[in-house]
Chains A and B, each alone.
Chain A
């Protein structure tokens, strides 16, 4: 079980995090399933709806989720997950992230240090909601070696 994310898309997530800094950015991961793995094919940057504390919270409305599903379907893809940034914090999910997470989706977190995109990690919620489990990220380089 791994999430494939090529270098161009990874750069896109970092760039979104840098543009939104010091606020959190968020967006959707559109892609497909390749056996037990998932492959990200496109990003859908979204507006962070949390206007009260955008520096440490993000929110995607139900209407935006529906729009993301429709955007994925229009490209023949699935809505496979979400990304968001942690300004000046590690790319580790917070308790708040876990408490508000859905199962099944992949959650990508990018750390943005002093305005510069840095570490990028991926996670999935455990079946019992007790923790986020690390989801291996495969870049284009590692995919091409197969």
Chain B
């Protein structure tokens, strides 16, 4: 059983308008990698030019923020849900 990646509303236009996509993956990095390979236009909104997750992109595995786990190396198992949650900033 694959893991499900939830796509936030502002990114759905770049993911064929889907609210979620399922992938076979062992880590968050693999799941997000598969996501951005399938939907390449998502990459610039999720990652900086240096390949780091943007500061306002929050990734949760089930209810846990990966910043408090092993970041993108966080292990995932079948049936887990990865959620991409925006935070908003400006000045």
The judgment on whether A and B are partners is: yes
A residues near B (Cβ < 8 Å) are 24, 26, 50, 56-62, 64-66, 69, 78-79, 82, 84, 93-94, 96-97, 100-105, 107, 128-129
Known interface pairs A58-B89, A78-B9; 7 further A-B residue pairs with C-beta atoms within 8 A, sorted by A's residue number: A58-B91, A59-B87, A60-B87, A82-B88, A100-B89, A103-B10, A103-B14
B33 at the interface (CB under 8 A from A): no
A59 contacts B13, CB within 8 Å?
no
The B interface, classified by DSSP as helix, strand, loop or mixed, is mixed
Contact of A129 among B13, B45, B58 (CB under 8 A): B45
Scan residues 33-91 of chain B and give those whose CB is less than 8 A from a CB of chain A.
44-45, 55-56, 58, 65, 85-91
Q: What are 9 A-to-B residue pairs whose CB atoms are below 8 Å?
A: A50-B89, A62-B87, A82-B88, A84-B90, A94-B90, A100-B56, A102-B88, A104-B11, A105-B10
B88 contacts A57, CB within 8 Å?
no
Contact of B90 among A64, A65, A69, A100 (CB under 8 A): A100
A57 contacts B91, CB within 8 Å?
yes
B residues near A (Cβ < 8 Å) are 9-14, 44-45, 55-56, 58, 65, 85-91
Nearest opposing residue in chain B for A96, CB measure? B91
Contact of B10 among A56, A60, A94, A102 (CB under 8 A): A102
Docked CA distance A50–B82 (Å): 27
Most central of B44, B85, B91 by chain A CB within 10 Å? B91
For the complex formed, measure the closest distance between the CB of B44 and the CB atoms of chain A, giving whole angstroms: 6
For the complex formed, measure the closest distance between the CB of B64 and the CB atoms of chain A, giving whole angstroms: 12
Contacts A62-B58, A78-B9, A79-B9 given: A103-B87 contact, CB under 8 Å? no
For the complex formed, measure the closest distance between the CB of B43 and the CB atoms of chain A, giving whole angstroms: 11
Docked CA distance A97–B89 (Å): 7
Docked CA distance A129–B47 (Å): 12
B10 contacts A65, CB within 8 Å?
no
B90 contacts A103, CB within 8 Å?
no
Docked CA distance A59–B14 (Å): 25
